[in-house]
Structure 1
Amino acid sequence: MNIRLKKLDLLILRSFMGPFIVTFFIVLFTFTMQFFWLYMDELIGKGFGIFVTIKLMVYMSTTLVPIALPLGILLAAIMTFGGLGENFELVAIKSSGISLYRFMRPLTIFIAIISLSAFFFNNYVIPVTNLKAYSLLYDMRNQKPAMNIREGVFYNEIDNFSIRVGKKGKDGQTIKDIVIYDHSSGRGNDKIVLAKDGKMYPSKDKRSLIFELNDGWRYEEDNTEQKHAQTRMYFGKWYKVFDLSKFTFTRTKEDLFKGNNEMMNVGQLNRNIDSFTQRNQKSHEDIARYLTPYFSIFQKMPKDSLLAKRLTADKGKVYNYKKSFFSNVPDSMKSKMALTIENNVRNMERLVNIVAVESKIRDTSMNQFQIAWHKKFTLSFACMLLFLIGAPLGAIIRKGGLGMPVVIAIGFFIIYFIISSTGEKLAQQAAVAPWYGMWLATAILLPIAFVIMAAARNDSNIFNKEWYIRMWSFISKLFKKDKTEMINNK
């Protein structure tokens, strides 16, 4: 009996591994291509080499693993159990006295291991790849387009210059009918170069573009001090060097991106959350420290001063004044005192607003860090959740392949994604607590998973096409029977 069960466990694991690997990499490739379609307009035409492009693709595909993994598991689970049901293997297993839960046990253990591994991957690998991916993407998006001087079109990508080439030779270097406008002085087109022909080629270090011009004229205008003088110079050969250092691909230091919550693991997120919490607790101390100078009663004073003696002597006493303090002030001092009070109140209001704004900024940042902290766990738990939905669904559907299983899997994943995204948005807007928003999808779908598992155990026909066909035939016969009786009664 034990040998038969071990073979059964091996059967279900082998049946699952093939669809899981295929669907996971298909989903990961789809999400990666979706990313490139999103940023294609900003990356094309900037002269990036194949190595940089592949590097970005590898980094981004790694960051998308936590999203692709749950969908891959859901698809593979539905396809595996649907295929076993379609081939009546599930019926044979149940008829031998083995329950569905026992049949799911090896895969449940396997998915639990994947979920645990996904957490460590999400905690230690994803922050590093996020740092490298988004820093590289930032540099690529801010890179200037590659040099592309076309015939008959003014090229303005080089700062302070506008260049037009009438014709270009097949070698890409020979040029004719050249016009160069120089705006470097800041006074418009006060320098113009015209040439009949020449060559353009990059320097050896690729940091400069050299124009070797022949048989041309240089025009320069001097508009300073109202001279309005123009100088015209003929040249047989003249070299113009353009700086291309801004067109070279440079990398920004990755340390500038390390403060983002997506580049941190659980330990780093905890430290940042604790620092924000402690800083918020000290906000009331900041207010007291800012406002104390405006209240003389709170200021330190010599013990032998008259005010200190009166305050000590009158401690605990309550006085009822018939007139306000302001009415006792001499008329000559009232204007000055009112102005002083108004200025002090405005200063105190400004200081309190500063503390309030700083506290609000810290609350927003802490909210983002708490969302990132919960996301480390929810994405891993989603693997187990979607497996618990997909496996019994496949047993109910009893269809393998890429037809009905794919449709249902995508439908459930869209539901999960919408609920999860909605909860995250609500948490980001501080409409709900971070833990509530991030675990909302799990709280809604987990009971549904248990209901589907119970339905699969009882051989429910809710997703069985033949069951709906039989029900439709039965209802149609009832309507036909009632219609026949009505005609006979007439």
Structure 2
Amino acid sequence: MIKKLDILIIRSFIGPFIAAFAISLFVLTMQFFWLYIDDLVGKGLDLITVLKLVGLVALFWVPMALPLALLFSSIMTFGNLGEKFELVAIKAAGISLTRFMRPLLVFTFFVCGIAFLFANNIIPVTQLKLSALKYDIIVSKPSIDIKEGIFYDKIDGFIIKLGKKEKNDSIIHDVVIFEKGYYLQDNIMVAESGVMRVSKDKQFLEFILKNGWRYQEKGPRGVIETEFTRMGFKEYKKVFDLKSFQMNKTEDSAFYDPKMLSVRQLNLAIDSLDHIDTFYAKKAKLEVSPYLRFTRYADTGWSKILKPLPKVKPAKIFPDSLNQQLIDAAANQLATVKGSVAVMAEDYKAKYLSMQLHEIEWHKKFTLSVACLVMFLIGAPLGSIIRKGGLGTPMVFAIVFFVLFHLLNTFGEKFVRSGQTNALIGMWLSTFILVPISVFLIYKAMHDSQLFNQEFYYRNFKGLRKFLATFKKQKND
């Protein structure tokens, strides 16, 4: 009988779980395309590239879709069983709720392992390939990024404005190019029309401009003797280096991100960053001490003096004629020390932020897998309490708790990034809050709680309503 009961609960659960997982993965995947829709539409991508992009995005969201699917399917399964009074029959047979949940609990542990394997082994590779593919899509036809009537400044040293583009994104009209530099003013190039294309090696963006002018001003700053040059042209070729996109397509290291590392690699990276305090203390001593020469003559015997020294009239060491030179020398020395300390402080801040990002990703490998267990422990007792099947009520409760989970994760990560807390507390914040809620719901479900029974609250507040009505009537009289 017990084995048949296990089969019953697994069969009741597996269908809603697969459906919920598919829906969750679809919604999360569409979120990516809504975000990058402007970069994808009109690129002329072939079917294989689109399918590859969809597959990589779907794989990336698997660890996030699993907790949501477990939460929704567990609420739906136990809600259906409660609505059909099957839970009542099972409890009447002397089978406790925890025993009834046991086969699904074993299944949830299996899902937790799958989530960890995805987060640790598959997601790092997926993130790398997804970053490379997004770069290829953007570079393959960057003209789509240069929109009509909008100043485009993603190419270092230049600002481009296009008045109009043809449907093929290659023929352009009313072109204005500002060449930024340390000149009297920006050099300007205007053209009536032209052709925009990417070189065969995808390293350069070429503009073949027609019927235009180039304006340039030369001369030293601060004087009026400058030279203004205006050059007209029938055809002019302008080449832009796409390396200014700050990515190197051929080198994987250009796409380095802590999300692309496994737990073992993150351990090595964190271990190398964990000693930055000692490193910068030694570096500060080496770089700053040469400028603070008086520290060499510090006398430790001063700390042993018990009585104050007698007042002695200070003697002049340097003549008055050297005062200004000494002040300037001291100011320059202090400025050098300040500059060195500022550079080291910025470098330290960057290294410390890098260590925080690595720690965030390390904890995230485990929090997403543990979240599967937490979501199940919330969904199963919640479904047995509300005793409502179908899609409506379970969907509402699933969205509420998943949004709470996501917000707590987001807030915790922001707290870690801003330095307000450490990675352990920030990344496990959602678990620390949701676990007590799951324990509370399990306790209520085991004791047949009326937590979400509308009639229960109606009966209990009936006396209060009568008292308020009587009080209101006496007040009016």
After superposition, residues 157-196 of structure 1 pair within 5 angstroms as none
Find 2:272's aligned residue among 259, 262, 275: 275
After superposition, residues 136-155 of structure 1 pair within 5 angstroms as 136-142=133-139, 143-145=141-143
Q: Distance in 2 between matches of 1:459 and 1:295?
A: 75
Find 2:383's aligned residue among 394, 403, 407: 394
Q: Does 1:73 align with 2:70?
A: yes
**Structure 1 residues 295, 220: closer, same or farther in 2, change over 3 A?**
closer
- The one-letter amino acid paired with 1:76 is S
Q: Distance in 2 between matches of 1:26 and 1:10?
A: 25
**Structure 1 residues 463, 364: closer, same or farther in 2, change over 3 A?**
same
1:87-136 deviations in whole A, cap 9, x for unaligned?
11111111111100011111111101211221121011111101111232
After superposition, residues 193-208 of structure 1 pair within 5 angstroms as none
Q: Distance in 2 between matches of 1:388 and 1:71?
A: 12
Find 2:317's aligned residue among 326, 329, 332: 329
**Structure 1 residues 243, 463: closer, same or farther in 2, change over 3 A?**
same
Q: Distance in 2 between matches of 1:360 and 1:221?
A: 47
- The answer as to whether partners of 2:39 and 2:145 remain within 8 angstroms in 1 is no
What is the deviation of 1:467? Answer: 4.0
**Structure 1 residues 53, 339: closer, same or farther in 2, change over 3 A?**
same
Q: Does 1:382 align with 2:371?
A: yes
Residue range with higher mean Cα deviation, 273-282 or 333-342: 333-342
Structure 1 unaligned segments of length 5 or more: list them.
Answer: 195-199, 212-217, 233-238, 300-306
Residue 354 of structure 1 is matched in structure 2 by 343
Report the 3-state secondary structure (helix = DSSP H, G, I; strand = E; otherwise coil) of the residue aligned with 2:43.
Answer: coil
Q: Distance in 2 between matches of 1:428 and 1:230?
A: 53
- The answer as to whether partners of 2:127 and 2:260 remain within 8 angstroms in 1 is yes
Q: Distance in 2 between matches of 1:343 and 1:326?
A: 26
Residue 127 of structure 1 is matched in structure 2 by 124
- The one-letter amino acid paired with 2:425 is Y
**Structure 1 residues 161, 89: closer, same or farther in 2, change over 3 A?**
closer
Report the 3-state secondary structure (helix = DSSP H, G, I; strand = E; otherwise coil) of the residue aligned with 1:328.
Answer: coil
Residue 45 of structure 2 is matched in structure 1 by 48
What is the deviation of 1:222? Answer: 12
1:38-63 deviations in whole A, cap 9, x for unaligned?
21122111222222122111111111
Q: What percent identity do the matched residue pairs reach?
A: 36
**Structure 1 residues 256, 92: closer, same or farther in 2, change over 3 A?**
same
- The answer as to whether partners of 2:188 and 2:214 remain within 8 angstroms in 1 is no
After superposition, residues 48-447 of structure 1 pair within 5 angstroms as 48-142=45-139, 143-145=141-143, 252-253=249-250, 255-296=252-293, 327-331=315-319, 334-335=322-323, 336-447=325-436
- The one-letter amino acid paired with 1:381 is V
- The one-letter amino acid paired with 1:448 is I
The normalised TM-score by structure 2 is 0.75
**Structure 1 residues 99, 163: closer, same or farther in 2, change over 3 A?**
closer
Q: Distance in 2 between matches of 1:251 and 1:296?
A: 46
Residue range with higher mean Cα deviation, 15-24 or 275-284: 275-284
* Cα RMSD (Å): 4.9
What is the deviation of 1:334? Answer: 4.2
Larger radius of gyration: 1
The normalised TM-score by structure 1 is 0.73
**Structure 1 residues 425, 147: closer, same or farther in 2, change over 3 A?**
closer
- The answer as to whether partners of 1:164 and 1:179 remain within 8 angstroms in 2 is yes
- The one-letter amino acid paired with 2:278 is Q
- The answer as to whether partners of 1:135 and 1:254 remain within 8 angstroms in 2 is no
Find 1:11's aligned residue among 8, 13, 17: 8
Report the 3-state secondary structure (helix = DSSP H, G, I; strand = E; otherwise coil) of the residue aligned with 2:420.
Answer: coil
**Structure 1 residues 326, 345: closer, same or farther in 2, change over 3 A?**
farther
Q: Distance in 1 between matches of 2:314 and 2:60?
A: 67
Q: Distance in 2 between matches of 1:427 and 1:388?
A: 27
- The answer as to whether partners of 2:189 and 2:213 remain within 8 angstroms in 1 is no
